[in-house]
A and B are shown apart, each in its own frame.
Chain A
Amino acid sequence: MKTEQQYIDLFTQYEDLICRKSVPVLNALRAQAFADFERLGFPSLKGEDYKYTDVEKAFAPDYGININRLNIPVNPYDVFHCDVPNLSTSLYFVVNDSFYDKELPKAHLPVGVYAGSLCRFASEYPEIAARYYGKLAQTSANGVVALNTMLAQDGFVVYVPKHTVVERPIQLVNIFRSDVDTMANRRILFIVEENAEARLLVCDHSIDDVKFFSNQVIEIFAGANARADYYDLEESSVSTTRFSNLFVRLEAHSSVVVNGVTLTNGLTRNNYFVSLEGEGADLSLCGMSVLDKEQQLDTYSLVHHKVPHCTCNELFKNILNDRAIGAFSGRILVEQGADKTEAYQTNRNLCATRECRMYSKPQLEIYADDVKCSHGMSTGQLDENALFYMQSRGISRDEARMLLSVAFTSDVIEHVRLEALKDRLHKLVEKRFRGELAKCAGCRICK
């Protein structure tokens, strides 16, 4: 319990301060979270689900946590240059784990829609916040989620009430800015109620070269007939570690897209927990990564079909180079009685070197009788015939490799339901392969 101890000590010593600098809705869950964290600790390498990510080691360094909510002297508009231009969004920032409220987007949102600080939302609308906050992200089953819940003091929330459509995509840029090694316990609540519709794009950037750790918990609620899209673009830095626990709950006939793109990172663990709770719900869960040097990405997903007539399309692709390590563990669980379920899971990977490693474990667990399900996995190299065909047209081998690599990931991006973002992502991935993305192309500071 050595690694856990520093967090236990921190909480015991500063519980008052943590609570004082936050709000009751968030504070209400701390004691239970603390008890759960003490009991569970971090998941061990010995367990099947964390075989390829050493959680203890990741949490071991002495990161600074800004529990005093000191102001970070940074203007995100100065340091951030969006990699997704020509995409008109309502843009918000979170610096480390604090919502940046000094300059808010001018375009106003439809009546009743809230986008902004979780703290402020929870003090203005405590009942709504309490109805959703921590309801999916149970602390009793996951030590990392418990730690986040115990320490999180602010976050970002998008709340879209019934029958409301938010046309303009909402964009949140997470920025890491610090002179010392820093941990942020980030929280996102994305609530799209009955018959409502919204899209949220989250981009991660790390500005400085110090070590960063994002322990983040995302809860997505899609009410009946709702449409919710969550896009996640990770362009942090090689010294950034991220543990993301993302929870989705889908009510009847709702349609949700979750799509994660990792272009630059250090060590990332993405957990997706999806629960299909209402008949006719539809989920698209996709992700792609371009990993090289020592980058690591470990993806875990659990899609739980509880009721009949739901569909789920799961597609994850990784391209690995140098000494990169990738892991995929996907589980689709179809409960007894969840008939007419359609669930498909695919994981495809390209390994460009002998030194990179990819571990994949696709799983289907079906207790219903009448379902259509499939799962498949492949790990291999680029098609030599295609490479030669392109060379025979005068295209250099490197360029041919690049075109084929971009093509390999393109179907993941095709699942994006936002044309402008789709185009940008295609270009961004191409730039990534050409080596034109520095460790953080979004920052002026790096240039």
Chain B
Amino acid sequence: MLEIKNLHANVNGKEILKGINLSVKAGEVHAIMGPNGSGKSTLSSVLVGNPAFEVTEGEVTFNGKNLLELSPEDRSREGLFLSFQYPVEIPGVSMVNFMRAAVNEHRKYNGLPPVSATEFLKLMREKRAIVELDNKLASRSVNEGFSGGEKKRNEIFQMAMLEPKLSILDETDSGLDIDALRIVASGVNKLKTANNATIVITHYQRLLDYIKPDIVHVLYKGRIVKTAGPELALELEEKGYDWIKKEMGDL
């Protein structure tokens, strides 16, 4: 589904990603862990086409298409989704209008007519239940005045609405209490099928107790330095990142 080859990227002229190689197949859950500043969020930003990041080398194919050539909106319409670490507040734009615009643009891209008002509200209701998102939140402006936990739930709600092929969860666990974490994780698990895939970016093992990864990668200094099964996450939780740094000869 996703093939990343030798990806290099800069932000403000500084190289952050220094040759990433990663392959994700349908049905898989990948976890990307790593210490602060290793490039985890840069990777997710580059994949969804954030214009602040410049790709200098390498290639990314997504379902056979050259992802790097697509606009951010087309990447979304092709089935890529990012749950933002810091979801943006958009005062004055209601969740309903926002989601309807998004869903209809996806449908248009796929040659489908716009969804009817009743169908759309039904869809909103169904998907809201997945993350136990309050109706009141759905009728408010996008993320405006939402608590940290509500914002993250709202991200997963949007994911449910758009049914992406590949979801990237960027530190979705940060700022969540245990209950919210459970709700968000169970939402993600409910949306999992054999045809979609998930990349979970996290510092901690905690989220991985709920969302079980098939493969765990360690990102360090802009490269994936270790790839193993779920046991790697447990090892990291226990030992921290220092042993990786040592292996890399940095300590």
Chain A residues 350-377 with CB under 8 Å of chain B are: none
- Looking at A386, A394, A410, the one whose CB has the most chain B CB atoms below 10 A away is A394
The one of B72, B91, B92 in contact with A392, judged by C-beta atoms closer than 8 angstroms, is B72
Contacts of A394 in B (CB 8 A): 73, 76-77, 102, 105-106, 109, 162
Nearest CB in chain B to that of A402: its residue: B101
Instruction: Quote the shortest CB–CB distance from A386 to chain B (angstroms).
Output: 5
Q: In the complex, which residues of chain A have a beta carbon less than 8 angstroms from the beta carbon of B105?
A: 394-396, 399
Would you list which residues of chain A between 390 and 433 have a CB under 8 Å from chain B? 390-397, 399, 403-404, 406-408, 410-411
Assess the B93–A407 pair: CB atoms within 8 A: yes
Query: How many residues on the B side are at the interface (Cβ–Cβ under 8 A)?
Result: 29
Q: How far is B239's CA from A84's CA once the two chains are assembled, in angstroms?
A: 67
Q: Are the CB atoms of B90 and A392 closer together than 8 Å? A: no
Q: Is A125 in contact with chain B by the CB < 8 A criterion?
A: no
Q: Which residues of A lie under 8 Å from residue B101 when comparing CB positions?
A: 390, 395, 399, 403
* Alpha-carbon separation in the docked complex, A399 to B104 (Å): 11
- A406 engages B92 (CB within 8 Å): yes
Partner of A410 from B76, B92, B98 at Cβ < 8 Å: B92
B73-A391 in contact (CB<8A): yes
Chain A interface, number of residues (Cβ within 8 angstroms): 21
Produce 1/0 per residue, A297-322, CB < 8 A to B: 00000000000000000000000000
Check B72–A388 contact: CB distance below 8 A: yes
Q: Is the CB of A395 within 8 A of B73?
A: yes
Q: How far is the CA of A393 from the CA of B48 in the complex (A)?
A: 10
Q: Given that A399-B101, A403-B98 are known contacts, is A391 also in contact with B92, CB under 8 Å in the complex?
A: no
Q: Mark B62-74, 1 if CB is under 8 A from A, else 0.
A: 0000000001110
B210 at the interface (CB under 8 A from A): no
B156 CB-CB contact with A under 8 Å: no
B82 interface hit (Cβ, 8 Å)? yes
Is the CB of A63 closer than 8 A to any CB of chain B?
Answer: no
Taken together as a complex, chains A and B put the C-alpha atoms of A399 and B91 apart, in Å, by 16
Cβ-defined contact, B90 with A386, below 8 A: yes
Known contacts A388-B50, A388-B72, A399-B105; A393 and B92 CB within 8 A of each other? no
Within the complex, the shortest CB–CB distance from B85 to chain A, in Å, comes to 12
CB-CB contacts of B85-103 with A at 8 A, as 1s and 0s?
0011111110001100110
A393 to B106, CA, bound (A): 9
Cβ-defined contact, B90 with A390, below 8 A:
yes
Whole-angstrom CA separation of A408 from B76 in the bound complex: 25
- Assembly CA distance A388 to B88 (angstroms): 9
A393 touches B88 (CB 8 A): no
State in angstroms the CA–CA spacing of A407 and B97 once bound together.
11
Q: Does B204 contact A (CB under 8 A)?
A: no
Q: How far is the CA of A64 from the CA of B101 in the complex (A)?
A: 49
> Could you tell me the distance in whole angstroms from the C-beta of B59 to the nearest C-beta in chain A?
21
Distance from B127 Cβ to chain A, minimum over Cβ atoms (Å)? 14
- Give the distance in Å from the alpha carbon of A389 to the alpha carbon of B88 in the complex: 7
Partner of A408, one of B87, B92, B97: B92
B175 interfacial by beta-carbon distance below 8 Å: no
Contacts known (A385-B88, A407-B92, A411-B92); A393 close to B50, Cβ less than 8 A = no
A241, B244: Cα distance in complex, Å: 72
Residue of A nearest to B109 (CB): A394
In Å, the complex CA distance between A388 and B72 comes to: 8
Indicate if the CB atoms of B162 and A389 lie closer than 8 Å: no
Nearest A residue (CB) for B159: A393
Q: State A38–B223 Cα separation when bound (angstroms).
A: 81
Cβ of A389: which chain B residues have Cβ within 8 Å of it?
84, 87-88, 90
Tell me which residues across on chain B come within 8 A of A385, comparing CB atoms.
88
Supply 14 further A-B pairs (C-beta < 8 A) apart from A394-B76, A403-B97: A390-B90, A391-B71, A392-B84, A393-B158, A393-B162, A394-B106, A395-B73, A395-B101, A395-B105, A399-B101, A404-B93, A407-B91, A407-B93, A410-B92
B residues near A, CB below 8 A? Answer: 48-51, 71-73, 75-77, 82, 84, 87-93, 97-98, 101-102, 105-106, 109, 141, 158, 162
Q: Which A-B residue pairs are the 3 nearest by beta carbons?
A: A407-B92, A394-B76, A389-B88
Instruction: Please name 15 pairs of A and B residues whose Cβ atoms are closer than 8 Å in the assembled complex, sorted by A.
Output: A383-B90, A388-B51, A389-B88, A390-B90, A390-B102, A391-B73, A392-B49, A392-B75, A392-B82, A394-B102, A394-B106, A395-B102, A403-B97, A407-B92, A407-B93
